[in-house]
Amino acid sequence: MDTAIVGAGVGGLYTAWRLLGCGQSPGGMAVFEASARVGGRLLSVTMPGTTGIAAEFGGMRFLSSHALITSLATKFCLGIREFTTGNSESIFYSRGKQWRAGDIAKKQPLPYGLRPDELYLDPFELIVKAVRRVMPSMKHLSPDEWAKMKESLTLDGFPLIDWGFSNLLGRFLSDEALQFIEMGIGYSAVVSNWNAADALSLVIEYTGSPTEKTLVDGMQALPNALAAAVMREGSTIHHQHRLVSLRAPAQTGDGLHELVFTTPDGPRVVRARRVVLAVPRRAIEIIDDCAVLKELPIAALLATVTPRPLGKVFLAHEQPWWRSLGLTSGRATTDLPIRQIYYFGTEPDRPAGATGHLTMGYFDRPQLDYWAGLRRLEQPGASGFTMLDPDGPVATEVRRQIGVVHGLDQPIAAPLSVGFMNWEEDPYGGAWHTWNQGVKSWEIMKKIASPVPGTALHIVSEAWSTKQGWVEGALETAEAVVGTITRIPAN
């Protein structure tokens, strides 16, 4: 065939759809997916006991400034609604104390020994305080202006890209502030020691586009719509095809790539003039036979990013236990292993006819190890997405920690159903990626679209983008690859 696309996540499907729109012959292109579904790291599940409400075990939101996903949702008539992360009534629970987000502005005491200049700032405001020491003009910068500035910006005589983000924050904030930030942001990885210049890009993006959105029917509705469009055009999506060997034209000697897949019916060999790997870093690394991508220069290119593990647990309920606490949506954050607790089903713009309610626990490393260990008690050897016993060890501990965080006299009632997902496990390696210290991301992104010079081999992934962790990042890299293949400018 002409083009073989490996991976039916949103990046791979978008690449296929765009190539078809640019004149690619439908019969000369196919998408190959290792699993039995489409969507990759977008996984929307209807939990038993609920209807019309999606449990987002994968990506669950996007920013209002993300133009590609917004235009795609409009193109496919996918409803968009606000995604609420909280308000002044949102709960914090840390160091054995509970308080509300609004208490910070009210100058109520917190269980952290902050410096006088750090008092009465929330975790994100503390990050912005540190960033302004590096870039006083950050409020007036557009993303494009910042993308250029970060190439030459320095701190204490060192290029900003050589700084780790945690080191940068520690340069201007107290140790207590750093601990408050990690607890309040809810993610350990966000404030870890990844490339400070690219971390600042995330801060600037949030500062300029504070509104978060989601899809009414769940984020997986987007790859589902793309898959349907690709198949309507006459191309094929082959499920349960796991790539185990990729030999480049330099090895085959006939100008074609040779791909070998394992399938339920045995090995399948495909020969293609062009290959698009629309998968994360770990999925590339575990291709058993792929000499061209294991050569040192290419392997070093792929290793410029680090996968970041994330896990989620969802509990389904008939009634919203949180309503009596004055909560309608958003989240609580804590230093307990559950880290973030979200409430779904009582938000103001809930779709009509939906029944049931959801609580989500959301955590990364090291807390992910805590929950993965509890799942192993119940399901030894389990991986990926699984449903759990509502009375099992994971559900019991989630209920206990919810009670502690929210000051309940007793644990919430046993849920109707429980689901668990660990994105660290193969083939994903993590839920999102961060650029490593010292990496010139703007140079790597130019190379990753065609990492092997002179070879029609391309990579699409949020991992090597300006918007890591977002659907928009995968779509941006897909646009770069489509432009490389067709020489047609991006939309």
* Predicted pLDDT of residue 146: 78
In this predicted structure, the answer to whether residue 238 has a pLDDT above a threshold of 60 is yes
CA gap 333, 123 in Å, rounded? 11
Q: For residue 54, count CB atoms less than 10 angstroms from its CB and return exposed for 0-12, middle for 13-18, buried for 19 or more.
A: buried
pLDDT at 489 (0 to 100):
53
- For the entire predicted model, the pTM comes to 0.95
Of all residues in the chain, what percent carry a pLDDT higher than 70? 98
- Mean pLDDT calculated for residue range 8-22: 97
In the predicted model, what is the mean pLDDT of residues 345-373? 93
What integer pLDDT is reported at residue 424 of this predicted model?
A: 97
Euclidean distance between CA atoms 189 and 196, whole angstroms: 13
Q: What pLDDT does 188 receive?
A: 95
Residue type, 157: G
The neighbouring-strand residues paired with 247 are: 258
SS3 assignment, position 175: helix
Residue 69 amino acid letter? I
What is the SS3 string spanning 325-356?
HCCCCCEEEECCCCEEEEEECCCCCCCCCCEC
* Torsion angle of the four alpha carbons 367, 371, 373, 375, in this order, in degrees rounded to the nearest 10: -170
Q: Which two tokens stand for residue 195?
A: 């490339």
Residue listed under structure tokens 């991508």: 293
Look at strands 457-459 and 212-215 and give their pairing.
unpaired
* Average pLDDT for 349-353: 83
- For the chain, the maximum distance between any two Cα atoms, rounded to a whole number of angstroms, is 72
Residue 488 confidence (pLDDT): 60
Q: What is the dihedral of CA 420, 422, 423, 425, to 10 degrees?
A: -140
Q: What pLDDT sits at residue 227?
A: 98
Residue 448, H or E segment: helix 441-448
* Mean pLDDT on 165-176: 97
Residue 452: phi and psi, rounded to 5, are -110, 105
* Residue-level pLDDT at 353: 86
The whole-number average pLDDT for the span 357-384 is 96
Rounded-to-integer distance, Cα 12 and Cα 403, Å: 42
Strand ranges for 59-111 from DSSP E: 62-63, 80-82, 91-94, 97-100
CB 274, CB 249: distance < 8 Å: no
pLDDT in tens, 438-489: 999 999 999 999 999 999 999 999 999 999 999 999 999 999 999 999 976 5
> How many Å separate Cα 280 from the centre of its chain?
11
For residue 56, the cross-strand partners are 44
Check if the beta carbon of residue 58 is closer than 8 Å to that of residue 71.
no
- Quote the pLDDT of residue 491: 46
Lowest mean pLDDT among 22-31, 136-145, 217-226, 415-424: 136-145
Q: Average pLDDT in the 101-117 region?
A: 95
pLDDT at 202: 87
Supply 50's token pair.
């609920």
As a whole number of angstroms, the distance between CA 460 and CA 11 comes to: 6
Q: Give the pLDDT of residue 218.
A: 96
Q: What would the pLDDT profile of 240-297 be if each residue is shown by its tens digit?
A: 999 999 999 999 999 999 999 999 999 999 999 999 999 999 999 999 999 999 999 9
pLDDT of residue 461: 97
Tell me the CB-side half-sphere exposure of residue 329, using CA atoms within 13 A: 12
Q: What Rg do the C-alpha atoms of the chain give, in angstroms?
A: 23
Residue whose C-alpha is closest to residue 442's, from 480, 483, 487: 480
Q: What does the pLDDT look like over 178-235, one tens digit per residue? A: 999 999 999 999 999 999 999 998 888 887 767 899 999 999 999 999 999 999 999 9
C-alpha distances out from residue 369 to 116, 234, 338, 424, Å: 36, 44, 11, 10
Distance CA(327)–CA(316), nearest Å, equals 17
pLDDT for 20 beyond 90: yes
Q: What percent of the chain has pLDDT over 90?
A: 90
pLDDT in tens, 37-69: 999 999 999 999 999 999 999 999 999 999 999
The pLDDT value recorded for residue 351 is 81
143-160 per-residue burial string, b: 16 or more CB within 10 A, e: under 16: eeebbebbeebebeeebb
